[in-house]
């Protein structure tokens, strides 16, 4: 079991010492008992659907194992099926061979309690650059091919970018647009970058019956961790995030857990990059919450509101907030 240490507690104290009540970008203060261990909520007053999100998980080590085990334990306590897991990239570190899907995915995540689709996007390590495996784009292709060749697998990656209406297209609660933010040399080609941008703009214009729209990518637009804000994504996707009714932008890449509300932007920005890789430090979070802790994120979605909670590898609820359809966000921990 991964144990909390003093540094983690100090980091958390700094991260939420201002407490947060978000509404149109304003901050308010409230007290927290930082040393108490709250259990995650598993019962909800309104019927809805459940999603989990993990990023930067593909280490194959004890960290990934303990987070995967806790995801299964939490899902078992929900007593309701999951509608999906958002796999936020860096799905496999190091050299990827097809047999790793068995050890580090199919067997790693409980088939009994996580019996749902894992909707994956590609991270920088999934392209096998020189600092990873030197496999290049072939590493990404292996993941695309595994999804295509194994349709009964929980592993879902129909393309480098794609959209879904969930839990089903007939009665959707959320439309999710999955994007590939890998624009470095050796990843997306110039033609792919242009095609993806056109795809995104077209998807945002399409009619949907889903009351919620999310965007998902490996890379955060904003971060209170070592990765910092991304001028590249602010330039590429920033205006689209401002001018469209996107309620959540969900990412990984920074190996920690974050919830940020950024002035002049409507979405809630969630970073869930603590699924198994070595953790990254966080700064004092001036725009919300950030914590250096292994864990994952849970979303409970109803037509009127979404409850979000960050859950540690020890099974404790670290932080929670609620967002209404009107865009009001408040801390519920």
The mean per-residue pLDDT over the stretch 307-311 comes to 98
Domain ranges of the chain: 47-306+320-331
Residue 24 has pLDDT above 50, yes or no: no
The mean per-residue pLDDT over the stretch 282-298 comes to 96
pLDDT tens-digit map of 62-95: 999 999 999 999 999 998 999 999 999 999 999 9
Among the listed ranges 26-40, 46-60, 223-237, 289-303, which one has the minimum average pLDDT value?
Answer: 26-40
For the chain, percent of residues with pLDDT exceeding 70: 89
The mean per-residue pLDDT over the stretch 174-189 comes to 97
For the chain, percent of residues with pLDDT exceeding 90: 87
Look at residue 229 in the predicted model and tell me its pLDDT: 97
Name the region of 66 (left: φ>0; alpha: ψ -120 to 50; beta: rest).
Answer: alpha
Look at residue 164 in the predicted model and tell me its pLDDT: 97
Look at residue 100 in the predicted model and tell me its pLDDT: 98
Residue 52 has pLDDT above 80, yes or no: yes
Look at residue 27 in the predicted model and tell me its pLDDT: 32
Look at residue 285 in the predicted model and tell me its pLDDT: 87
Residue 35 has pLDDT above 50, yes or no: no
Q: Is the peptide bond before 141 cis (omega within 30 degrees of 0)?
A: no
All residues at 6 or more sequence positions from 160 whose CB lies less than 8 Å from its CB, including other chains: 122, 140, 144, 180, 188, 192, 196
Residue 187 has pLDDT above 80, yes or no: yes
Look at residue 204 in the predicted model and tell me its pLDDT: 98
All residues at 6 or more sequence positions from 256 whose CB lies less than 8 Å from its CB, including other chains: 225, 271, 273, 274, 279, 280, 281, 282, 290, 291, 292, 293
Task: List the one residue out of 316, 315, 318 whose CA is nearest residue 68.
Answer: 315
The mean per-residue pLDDT over the stretch 156-176 comes to 96
- In whole angstroms, give the CA distance from residue 186 to residue 201: 24
pLDDT tens-digit map of 96-114: 999 999 999 999 999 999 9
| pLDDT range class, residue 33, cuts 50, 70, 90 | very low
Look at residue 36 in the predicted model and tell me its pLDDT: 54
pLDDT tens-digit map of 112-127: 999 999 999 999 999 9
* Entry pTM: 0.91
Among the listed ranges 8-17, 151-160, 236-245, 258-267, which one has the minimum average pLDDT value?
Answer: 8-17
CATH topology (fold) of 47-306+320-331: Purple Acid Phosphatase; chain A, domain 2 (3.60.21)
pLDDT tens-digit map of 207-222: 999 999 999 999 999 9
Q: What is the mean pLDDT of the chain?
A: 91
């Amino acid at each position: 079991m991964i144990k909390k240490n003093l540094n983690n507690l100090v980091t958390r104290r700094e991260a939420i010492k201002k407490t947060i009540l978000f509404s149109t970008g304003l901050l308010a203060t409230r007290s927290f008992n930082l040393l108490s261990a709250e259990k995650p909520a598993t019962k909800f007053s309104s019927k809805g659907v459940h999603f989990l999100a993990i990023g930067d998980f593909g280490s194959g080590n004890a960290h990934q194992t303990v987070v995967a085990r806790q995801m299964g334990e939490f899902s078992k306590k929900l007593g309701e099926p999951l509608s999906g897991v958002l796999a936020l990239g860096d799905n496999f570190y190091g050299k990827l061979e097809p047999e790793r899907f068995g050890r580090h995915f199919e067997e790693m995540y409980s088939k009994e309690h996580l019996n749902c689709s894992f909707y994956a996007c590609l991270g920088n390590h999934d392209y096998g650059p020189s600092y990873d495996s030197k496999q290049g784009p072939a590493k990404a292709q292996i993941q695309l091919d595994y999804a295509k060749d194994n349709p009964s697998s929980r592993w879902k990656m129909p393309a480098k970018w794609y959209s879904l209406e969930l839990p089903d297209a007939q009665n959707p609660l959320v439309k999710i647009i999955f994007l590939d933010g890998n624009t470095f040399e050796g990843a997306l080609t110039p033609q792919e970058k242009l095609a993806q941008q056109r795809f995104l703009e077209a998807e945002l214009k399409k009619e949907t019956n889903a009351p919620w729209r999310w965007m998902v990518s490996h890379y955060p637009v904003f971060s209170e961790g070592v990765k910092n804000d991304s001028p590249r994504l602010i330039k590429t996707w920033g205006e689209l995030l401002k001018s469209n009714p996107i309620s959540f932008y969900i990412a990984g890449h920074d190996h920690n857990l974050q919830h940020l509300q950024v002035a002049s932007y409507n979405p809630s920005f969630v970073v869930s990059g603590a699924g198994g890789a070595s953790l990254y430090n966080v700064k004092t979070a001036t725009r919300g919450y950030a914590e250096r802790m292994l864990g994952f994120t849970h979303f409970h979605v109803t037509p009127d509101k979404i409850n979000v909670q960050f859950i540690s590898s020890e099974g404790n609820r670290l932080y929670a907030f609620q967002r209404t359809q009107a865009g009001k966000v408040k801390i519920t921990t």
